[in-house]
Amino acid sequence: MNNRMEVTQRIEPVSLGKKEKPEPVSMYFGENTFSESTMRKMFSEKTFKAFKRWQEEGEVITAAQADEIAQAMKEWAMAKGATAYTHWFQPMTGLTAEKHDAFISIGTSGNVIEKFTGSRLIQGEPDASSFPSGGIRATFEARGYTAWDPSSPAFITEVENGKTLCVPTIFISYTGEALDKKLPLLRSEVALSKSVVELLKLFGHGDVKSACSTCGPEQEYFLIDEAYYRLRPDLILTGRTLVGASSPKGQQLEDQYFGSIKERVLNYMLEVEEEAYKLGIPVATRHNEVAPHQYEFAPVFERSNLAADHNQLLMDIMKKVARRHGLVCLLHEKPFAGVNGSGKHLNWSIADDRGNNLLNPGDTPEENLLFLTMLCSVIYAVYTHGDLLRGAVAFAGNEHRLGANEAPPAIISVFLGEHLIKIVDMIESGKMAKAKKQDLVDLGVKLLPKFLRDSTDRNRTSPFAFTGNKFEFRALGSSMNISTAIAVVNTIAADAIQIVGERIVAEKKQADSFSAAVLKALSGVIKEARPILFEGNNYAEEWIKEAEKRGLPNIVSSAEALRAFVTPKAIDLFERQGVFTRIELQARYVIWLEMYEKVIDIEARTLMEMVNTQVLPGAYEYQNDIAGGFEIVSDVAAAGRVDLVSGVIDDRKELLESISADIYYVRRNLREVAKLLEKAEAMEIEKRTFFFFNELKPQMAHVRKHVDALEKVMPDHLWNLPKYREMLFIS
């Protein structure tokens, strides 16, 4: 028996012992966060008010107040058992980063005391030379600063042997450029708020002071037994299987989707939820996804900056808890070829400070007018800057989903649904603009909420779909930090809302009424943005042709999609909205290209080593066996010692030939991979990313094809890599 077979025999759920009867979640939700109610209790009234002003209006607190807050935070954290603190941030790696510092400080008489000051709370200076900066920060000027983000609460993480206070921060260079994913998100919230407040003023809501985006990311993932994982260098190093024949049973029967959750998996989910709740992450739904061993968590939506932090934390929890259960949580977009990959649906909307969801159809024609304005603005945003949405989800892992053989396609379009599209059609035709107030009721505007709220017939194939009271951007990859995608959606929405607002103001001069002016403006907006609306099946061949006719880009390569960020149009937009500077965009472009080529490079090298050391040796053995058998059979037949059915010799010959051919092609293609890697070394970065996409990836696919062919015929004992049918079905 080889390792793989032994492991398979031994796989069984890890028992963590039965938990005592669980407490109701409300008893411990958020217990590990430095919540507003804790702050209210622990701060002086004056400091609490100052802190709130900082949160809400950006008015910075004084040094003395910062000290008071730090002191309270330290006390709270120490009472919970924390011994150290860290500034927690989201560098361009896409992961989170932390550098822990103990609270201890040496007192005047050489004694150790626990200390945490306001200045340590507010600013940190991690040695930042190894974080990607895209050239913004030369390595000799390694200084990067972390600065406290008061909009997201501090929290405590725990491991068996201790606890750490984590302070969410942004990460900036000495010269103030964003080196992280969080700062642009926060800036985009400011831009969005400004635009929305202005528009609301037009609609007579001058009382609204601010608005924000809200977000609920649905997180897909795979789980596999850890024992299998350990036998797969590709999963360990790249997060996905680089070779692997499909399982005879995949997802054809669709018996996994929303199916009854296996006990082992449910135990895992329950523990993830418990950990999430302690950190105040409102995970609300869990279910099986389409592919075998694929699952999903979805939280209740929150303000986007919080949702982004929470999603990062949740992914971290999911990975850590899996290990406790003898499982590995795979967040890669395509861990297994041939079955669905994992995405992250970004549910997005806009809320004002009165708590209104501005993408919620209202109960009166006036409210609906505002709703339609928001809706049309977002449509216009996607129409004008769809390339940025595509760019925001472009990276090596997602390339296996977008525009490959599965959803969503790389063509960005907007889906509205049967009822809403009719309304939008009417707006475009100008019918509504001519209508009187009471006619609006007849035209259906009054009835909007009714049919929208139960619009159950949702298009699951659209990359950007309106789903009742929010948009769902479905092209995100499962492993992604969602901040950049939110920042892009916010920015393009902010810009479009501004433009639409200006058009309304212009129409007002000639129109009889405000609503007529609005509808006239929206009619123009829809006329212009019409090509982005698509209600059909986004997976169909015809759509690709149709989209081409409409002039919608269909960009499959990540590197090409990323260019959207450095076009004059994009730089103009982001600078206008104060979200990214030109330098930041150019730096990001370089970082993303580098990330792309590094991932592909690692994959190629892993593939070479794995195939050479773990696939081919077994294949040679099998080839020898077959050759030996062929020789014996031919010898005894030639000597007239046996009477063979006609075809026996040819059959053996063919077997030997086909195995030998696969081995040959594997080796030939591997040599080609090595040559391409060598050739790429001298190329400059942009060229190399395209070269990897156009040349190296197809070459790797050739290797895989022949390896997978071998897997399907090789004797079980000679195949040591866990198979799809095992990893995806045994638990």
Q: How many CB atoms lie within 10 A of CB 727?
A: 29
10 Å Cβ neighbour count for 20?
A: 5
- Cα separation, 188 vs 435, in Å, equals 37
> Binding of ligand ADP at residue 662 (CB under 6 A)?
no
CA distances 350 to 27, 416, 464, Å, are: 30, 17, 15
Is 73 or 279 the residue whose CB approaches ligand ADP more closely? 279
| Residue numbers 328-347 binding ligand ADP by CB under 6 A | 347
How far, in Å, CA of 360 to CA of 684, rounded?
48
Q: Which stretch binds Mg ion (CB under 5 A): 153-161, 215-223, 279-287, 631-639?
A: 215-223
Please check whether residue 382 is in contact with residue 488, taking contact to mean a CB–CB distance below 8 angstroms.
Answer: no
Query: CB under 6 A: which stretch of 244-252, 294-302, 685-693, 717-725 binds ligand ADP?
Result: 294-302
Is the Cβ of residue 104 or residue 284 nearer to Mg ion in the bound state?
284
Q: Report long-range pairs for 574-583 (Cβ below 8 Å, ≥24 apart).
A: 574/491, 576/495, 577/188, 577/191, 577/491, 577/494, 577/495, 578/187, 578/190, 578/191, 579/184, 579/187, 579/188, 579/191, 579/487, 579/490, 579/491, 580/178, 580/184, 580/187, 581/177, 583/136, 583/177
CB of 302 to Mg ion, least distance (A): 17
Residue 299 binding ligand ADP, by CB under 6 A: yes
> Closest approach of Cβ 349 to ligand ADP, in Å?
3
693 makes contact, choosing from Mg ion, ligand ADP, none, with CB < 5 to 8 Å by partner type, with none
Say whether residue 344 binds Mg ion (CB under 5 A). no
Choose the stretch contacting Mg ion; rule: CB under 5 A; options: 112-120, 174-182, 214-222, 540-548.
214-222
In the 8-state DSSP scheme, what is residue 398? Answer: G
Sole binder of ligand ADP in the list 60, 64, 300, 661 (CB under 6 A): 300
Could you tell me the smallest distance in angstroms from the CB atom of residue 218 to Mg ion? 5
Q: Does 32 bind ligand ADP (CB under 6 A)?
A: no
Query: Nearer Cβ to Mg ion, position 218 or 399?
Result: 218
| Shortest CB 299 distance to ligand ADP, Å | 5
> Which residue has the CB atom at the shortest distance from Mg ion?
345
**Distance, CA of 515 to CA of 517 (rounded, Å):** 5
H helices of 611-730, where?
616-638, 648-680, 685-691, 697-713, 724-727
Helix (H) or strand (E) holding 366: helix 365-392
Give Cα separations from 571 to 379, 422, 568 (angstroms).
Answer: 21, 35, 5
> Each residue of 374-401: b (16+ CB within 10 Å) or e?
bbbbbbbbbbbbbbbbbbbbbbbbbbbb
Among 29, 85, 228, 348, binds ligand ADP (CB under 6 A): 348
The site partner of 347 among Mg ion, ligand ADP, none (C-beta below 5 to 8 Å per kind) is: ligand ADP
Q: Is 298 in the site for ligand ADP (CB under 6 A)?
A: yes
Kindly state the smallest distance separating residue 217's Cβ from ligand ADP, in Å. 7
Decide: is 216 part of the binding site for ligand ADP (CB under 6 A): yes
CB 377 within 8 A of CB 577: no
Distance CA 614, CA 122 (A): 51
Among Mg ion, ligand ADP, none, what does residue 356 contact (CB within 5–8 Å per kind)? none
C-beta of 182 vs 345, nearer to Mg ion: 345
Q: Are strands 294-299 and 123-124 parallel, antiparallel or unpaired?
A: unpaired
Residue 301, interface with ligand ADP (CB under 6 A)?
yes
Six-digit token pair at 417? 């649904």
Q: How far apart are CA 204 and CA 442, in angstroms?
A: 24
Looking at 67, 149, 177, 218, which residue binds ligand ADP (CB under 6 A)? 218
Region near Mg ion per CB under 5 A, out of 253-261, 338-346, 536-544, 656-664 = 338-346
Size of the site for ligand ADP (CB under 6 A): 15
Q: CA 138, 139, 142, 145: dihedral to nearest 10 degrees?
A: 60
Residue closer to ligand ADP (CB basis): 126 or 463 = 463
> Among 215, 279, 427, 475, which residue interacts with ligand ADP (rule: CB under 6 A)?
215
For ligand ADP, which residue has the nearest CB? 216
Residue 30 token pair: 């958020």
Is 345 near Mg ion (CB under 5 A)?
Answer: yes
Which C-beta is closer to ligand ADP: that of 472 or that of 507? 472
Q: Which does 467 bind (CB under 5 to 8 A by kind): ligand ADP, Mg ion, none?
A: ligand ADP
Chain residues that interact with ligand ADP, rule: CB under 6 A: 214-216, 218, 298-301, 347-349, 357, 467, 469-470
Chain residues that interact with Mg ion, rule: CB under 5 A: 218, 345
